[in-house]
Structure 1
Amino acid sequence: MEVSIVIPTFNEQNNIVKLLEKIGKLATKCFAIEAIIVDDNSQDKTISNISNYAINSENDFFKIKLHQRLNKSGLSSAILDGIKLCTFKFVVVMDADLSHTPEIITKMINALQNSYDLVIGSRYVDGGKIENWPLKRKIISKGATAIAKIGLNIKQKDPMSGFFALDKRIINDINFDAIGYKLLLEILVKKKGIRIKEIPISFKDRDAGKSKLGYKAIIDFIVSVWKLYRYGKKIKEPRVPVKFVSKTGRFFTVGASGLLVNILTIISVIGIGPFGHITANLIGILVSMTSNFILNKRWTFEEKDFFKRNTLKQYGKFIIFSSGGAAIQLTLYNHFREFYEIPYYGDLIIAVLIAGFGNFILNKKFTFNEKIWS
């Protein structure tokens, strides 16, 4: 049995050798492993640590290849560059920050040998779990997963996983956009008819180094989902009835994105200059209202013309009705903070969810002229 393991890195000096040590222990006479490390011009000791480890640790069954790129060009493109360098048919993709357990790799390869084409290390199937994640990360992950599943009609429970294995022949005919950091999502959308298996993993948040999740990653994700949605329409992929399920699903998907925008905006501006909790909430509400309106008009109802006077009327209605929800959010938020010992993120999330439901009902009925239960 042979496997190539692609590991993208950027400033992972504290993690990469520990990961390679764990992978090296899996290599035996019956299980040859090559680790393909694609580094995006790390500014710490990642490169030297890899080189020093390789000198003393490579053997007949465990090889290490280091590919250095001059610029930080994105995770998906790093993975694709790594796959091009793979010697073996079976390829595993995993993170360098020790969040993925190498011991699962043998189960993945066994599944590939048993006629599966793609194996996903899933946090959300039975038996899967996430350890040591802050509430903010859980919200972002669940929200992004919901957006991907509903917006792109994906059945797998963890399409956002960064830990997966595949027979590299299945991607030979895919024209990748390689935007952002979720190559698996693009494979799931663009490669139909393959056998897919999800196996449970225990995902652990990094102990050392800095998370790569930031606003750029979130923007890249939104752009990627939009491109993949347009790809699905272009090839006329069969979809469930549009009138109820699709439009309602899209509206809730936009609501989920608005929740993320709201919370991330609030978290980002709290403590900056004069911005306290109330001011941060107001800013978060305005930003999420505007993004929700634009996405609903363009995506949910597929209106392309943003220059008609009707757009201003729609936006005005949207703001007016959403302001009712904003008032509810602020009232509940202050109430929870004053009378209940709920951690900040907890009272924020409850307030946003209740207000968001009110926004949906009012705007569905009056702004976009839809029957509430249609």
Structure 2
Amino acid sequence: MRPKDLQVSIVIPTYNEAANIGLLVKKIHKSLKANYEIVIVDDSSPDGTGKIAENLSRGFPLRVIHRKGKLGLGSAVLAGFEVARGEVLGVMDADLQHPPDIVPELVKIVNQGADIAIGSRYVPNGGFQNFASIRKLASKLATLAARPLVRVKDPMSGFFFLRRKVVEDVALEPRGYKILLEILVKGKYKEVVEIPYLFADRKLGQSKLDSKVALSFLQHLVVLYFSKTKRFRKFCIVGLTGIFVNMFFLWLLAEVFGLFYLVAGFIAVELSIINNFTWNNIWTFKEAKDPSHVLIKLGKFNLVSLSALVVNMSVLYSFTQFLHIYYLISNLFGIGAAFLWNYTMNARWTWRETQEG
């Protein structure tokens, strides 16, 4: 079999997609026509998605894996990879938000030599179609937080194709709904190509995005940062020393020197910022080649810290107001998002480092 004729296996995780799955399968068949298979991994959908998929297998090159319980998209993708026959493995959503008409282009890119082809919302001509502003903001924040880990514009895409060798013998530990990021961090590849597409709002069915998905993503992101970058681990340690400095000087200034607690708190915050900057400058980012004067970096560090507060408050408000998540839980998301924002912006702007080698 010539490389250009490598069989394609498209893995489609499903949960309550009865209204979409039939139309999606027909559109994929119209786009590819031959030399492909579809592997549907269904997590016991109450709406009968699995049964509909079984019926579709009589007329299309399609197999169905039935799993007990709602086990998550990431693990569903890996379950599909395990049984897939193709040398080119693809992943797409079942809700028609990923356009089947560009599947041939993604497959062609892999067959022409690329290791991974990604449908991207963040390259020229890519984007969102009829999407709520809050959903766009959440997507952009998540993408920005993930970018220091990889050299890809849209590492959070759920629409991609790759050569089997990229994930062969790679220990993947999927959490939640995003597996491409982990593949990009741990996989074996050289060339990645991104092509634009418009991510459309779903027309049928319900979105699976909720607070559990968001929390799972933050946990996954932190795990990947710890496994990928020594700088992130150092940044976390420095952050812990900042907490100690903050608490100590708040107590000292308020209890010993008798300052009003809010005044003491303001000074303690700035002292903790100076502490964090000092240790990050001489330890965390000591290999950064940014020639800026130390006072300029300190000013940037302060601005990033202020912007992190804005991120925290924005997430708190947005998650509580629009996603109807309990405010204390929303605040946890805000703290996590602010911390990742802090690290990302300091790495990319204060010390001008985009990725650790």
TM-score (norm 1): 0.67
Are 2:117 and 1:119 equivalent residues in the alignment?
A: yes
Offset of 1:104 from its aligned partner? 0.9
- Structure 1 CA distance, aligned partners of 2:104 and 2:125? 17
User: What whole-Å deviation, never above 9, does each CA across 1:265-300 have from its counterpart, x for those lacking one?
Assistant: 222459xxxxxxxxx9xx58x96499539964x996
Distance 1:248 1:188, change over 3 A: farther
Task: Report the Cα distance in structure 1 between the residues aligned to 2:337 and 2:134, rounded to whole angstroms.
Answer: 25
Structure 1 stretches lacking a partner, 5+ long = 271-279, 302-359, 365-372
Report the count of equivalent residues: 283
Deviation digits for residues 58-110 of structure 1 (CA, Å, limit 9, x no counterpart) = 3xxxx100000001111100000001111010011000000011111111111
> Which amino acid in structure 2 is aligned with residue 44 of structure 1?
D
Q: How has the CA–CA distance of structure 1 residues 290 and 145 changed in structure 2, closer, same or farther, with 3 Å as cutoff? A: closer
1:236, distance to aligned residue in structure 2 (A): 9.8
Instruction: Quote the Cα distance in structure 2 between the aligned partners of 1:161 and 1:226.
Output: 18
Instruction: Name the CA shift for 1:236/1:266 in 2 (closer, same or farther; >3 Å).
Output: closer
What is the aligned counterpart of 2:203 among 183, 207, 213?
A: 207
1:93 correspondence with 2:91: yes
Question: Pick from 23, 47, 53: which aligns with 2:56?
Answer: 53
Distance 2:138 2:193 in 1: 24
Match of 1:274 in 2: none
| Post-superposition offset of 1:201 | 1.0
CA distance 1:182–1:293, shift in 2 (3 Å): closer
Change in 2 beyond 3 A, CA 1:184/1:19 = same
Correspondence for 1:24 = 29
- Is structure 2 residue 86 aligned with structure 1 residue 73? no
Letter in 1 for 2:203: D
- 1:218 and 2:265 correspond: no
Partners of 2:303 and 2:168 in 1: how far apart? 32
The Cα offsets for residues 187-239 of structure 1, whole Å up to 9 and x where unpaired, read as 11223652100001121111000000000010001001000000013699998
Structure 2 residue identity aligned to 1:292: I
Distance 1:293 1:32 in 2: 44
CA 1:290–1:40 in structure 2 vs 1: closer, same or farther (change >3 Å)? closer
Q: CA RMSD in A?
A: 3.6
Q: Which residue of 2 aligns with 1:6?
A: 11
Shift of 1:123: 1.0
- Paired with 1:67 and 1:21, the residues of 2 have a C-alpha distance of 19
| Cross-structure match for 1:265 | 320
CA distance in 2, matches of 1:215, 1:289: 11
- Alignment partners' CA distance in 2, 1:294 and 1:108: 32
Match for residue 149 of structure 2 among 141, 145, 153: 153
Q: Is the 8 A contact 2:316 2:333 kept in 1?
A: no
Q: Work out whether residues 186 and 228 of structure 1, in 8 Å CA contact, stay in contact via their aligned partners in 2.
A: yes
Q: Does 2:274 align with 1:231?
A: no
Separation of aligned partners in 2, 1:17 and 1:191: 32
CA distance in 2, matches of 1:254, 1:88: 47
Alpha carbons of structure 1 residues 294 and 162: separation in structure 2 relative to 1, 3 Å: closer
Q: C-alpha offsets along residues 29-68 of structure 1, whole Å, 9 cap, x if unaligned?
A: xx4110000001100021222122222x23xxxx100000
Distance 1:91 1:52 in 2: 23
CA–CA separation in structure 2 for the residues paired with 1:131 and 1:257: 27
Deviation at 1:27, TM superposition (A): 3.8
1:292 match: 335
| Structure 1 residues 162 and 255: alpha-carbon distance in aligned structure 2, compared to 1, 3 A threshold | farther
Paired residue for 1:179, among 170, 175, 180?
Answer: 175
Q: Does 1:131 align with 2:129?
A: yes
> Structure 1: how far apart are the matches of 2:51 and 2:191?
40
Of the three residues 104, 107, 110, the one matched with 2:108 is 110
CA distance in 1, matches of 2:32, 2:156: 28
Letter in 2 for 1:146: L
What do residues 245-278 of structure 1 show as CA deviations (whole Å, max 9, x unaligned)?
99789856685465323311222459xxxxxxxx
TM-score of the aligned structures, taking structure 2 as reference length? 0.70
Answer yes or no: is 1:41 the counterpart of 2:48.
no
Identical columns (%)? 34
Q: Secondary structure at the match of 1:106?
A: helix
**Cα offset for 1:130?**
1.2
